[in-house]
Amino acid sequence: MTEQGAQGSGSVTGAQSLVTSLEAAGVTDIFGIPGGAILPAYDPLMDSTRIRHILVRHEQGAGHAAQGYAAATGRVGVCMATSGPGATNLVTPLADAHMDSVPMVAVTGQVGASMIGTDAFQEADIRGITMPITKHNFLVTDPADIPHTIAEAFHIASTGRPGPVLVDVAKSALQAQTTFAWPDELHLPGYRPVTTPHAKQIKEAVRLIREARRPVLYVGGGVIRARAHRELAQLAALTGIPVVTTLMARGAFPDSNPQHLGMPGMHGTVAAVAGLQKSDLIISLGARFDDRVTGNLDSFAPGALVIHADIDPAEIGKNRHADVPIVGDCKEVIAQLVALLQAEGADGDYEAWISFLAGVKKRYALGYDAPTDGSLAPQYVLERLSHIAGSDSIYVAGVGQHQMWAAQFVGYEKPNTWINSGGLGTMGFSVPAAMGAKVGMPDTTVWAIDGDGCFQMTNQELATCAINDIPIKVAIINNESLGMVRQWQTLFYNERYSNTDLHSKRIPDFVKLADAYGCVGLACESPDDVDATIDKAMAIDDQPVVVDFRVHRDAMVWPMVAAGTSNDEIKYARDLAPQYDDVQDDWEVRA
């Protein structure tokens, strides 16, 4: 990698070298909190004219903000913390970013080099702690190593399969004198991500695609990270093959496209689940056959051959055997598939299959029953939010029922407009991640869609938003419960609601809390007021807005495949399983 020509300077401190290195890496925004070990870096950071530091209220907020920034912009998100508890508070965001392939660099202070290993005040072996949950990490004790370490960290975080990189810098290295020299090129033995797929594998994949009768494009978050949505649109248009987009890939393919079957998996659409289960060829693009998609792995898509394309060779064949493994960047893989299909002809016989799935999609479309008592359905809130805020807005969800409803009932037409914690499922993700997304995309409307449980884990970052003029909008789907856990208690624990009642329509009062944080607080509990409330929130651009949508607490997320069961056992409502006979065409006979 060549960033810019080698630069030399006179004697500077390691801290000055660190700040100059971050500037050279293109950093414009950092989320962080100072403390003793990192304090030397905060002094020259104050003089930087190129980097805006945003003082968060908790290091976890800094990490999630860096994630939201990266997911919204495609650039590397950056956070900073001190040693010990400051660094360990970044563990959850690092693990989250690792699971969801988010490019992120965390810079932490460490006690002085001579004190490492002595149990010094605020010492923690953050490198050892985070080794399993980072793409790579560094401990810097020599100030001369700072520039090339920062350059390497940003290169590793943003290339290949993206991920988080930790740079832990000893306080003694920050205080020592050194010279700054940005590297002309990087030497990383053993790190050479394969981006260009093997032509033989592309040819074999095209052969299977042309021979298949029931193919499905199984699109994962790798397509988003590779910015391969245009190539995906070409492949889908060329072949006519039905498309499913995972939770991490919502927006990679437009919801409005008739080929789109929706999201697969535990709370996926009946059409998407049926499409995978009954397929004879799964074309997996940047997906990893996660348990939430496959259900019981032994019964997943029993008749399907698998083409598995991923930039990370460790994912291929990890959970499901790949008949055609393709290692490469999704953008290049899909482009080469399109080129060869155009050359050889994309004349697969999928008509009966497409007709069958269209019938399933029509009959078992996503829906919900409005509460009979006139109270507010959470699904209705999200439908109206989608309609009013539109597909140009960014939606950032927490974790739980509201996350699934947001994935189901908001219409996604563009990539990078849906951000959530998929692999780790981190409650508290939404507000700080939305803050980061808004910093990265200041001219875009950003809605945090949060549950009343999630919101109470990280709502302190509303202060950060108010003070730093980051006008996010927060929709709290308030059902007074830890909703998804309560749903499982309803279905699997005989309605024994152990420790899931939050009493949160009154404690706290979210409208008063919003006001206390310098935000505008609104409340809505009637379907008749939803549109006007959203319109009012949309009209406020100079302050964060928090809307307490007080919804019916017994609403459940459907469809559902119970954990550990077969996808064949999907229910589209409680105790109601889909019947395919009346929409089945002759594709089984023709196959």
* Rounded-to-integer distance, Cα 518 and Cα 76, Å: 30
Query: Please, are residues 204 and 324 in contact by the beta-carbon 8 Å criterion?
Result: yes
Concatenate the DSSP letters of all residues of 379-401 into one string: HHHHHHHHHHH-TTSEEEE-SSH
Query: Please, are residues 214 and 242 in contact by the beta-carbon 8 Å criterion?
Result: no
Query: Please, are residues 119 and 84 in contact by the beta-carbon 8 Å criterion?
Result: no
**Contacts for 21-26: CB closer than 8 Å, 24+ residues apart:** 21/146, 21/147, 21/150, 21/151, 21/180, 21/182, 22/51, 22/78, 22/107, 22/150, 23/48, 23/50, 23/51, 24/147, 24/150, 24/151, 24/182, 25/76, 25/150, 25/151, 25/154, 26/75, 26/154
* Number of other CB atoms surrounding residue 47 within 10 Å: 9
* Sequence-separated (6 or more) residues with CB below 8 Å from residue 548: 476, 478, 510, 511, 521, 522, 523, 524
* Rounded-to-integer distance, Cα 396 and Cα 518, Å: 21
Known catalytic residues are: 59, 121-122, 171, 484
At 582, give phi and psi (nearest 5°).
Answer: -80, -5
Residue 316 to residues 93, 158, 289, 340, Cα–Cα distance (Å) = 25, 21, 9, 22
State the residue for tokens 């074309």: 283
Say if residue 197 is preceded by a cis peptide, omega within 30 of 0. Answer: no
Quote the tokens at residue 82: 């001190």
* Rounded-to-integer distance, Cα 486 and Cα 187, Å: 52
* Rounded-to-integer distance, Cα 193 and Cα 528, Å: 54
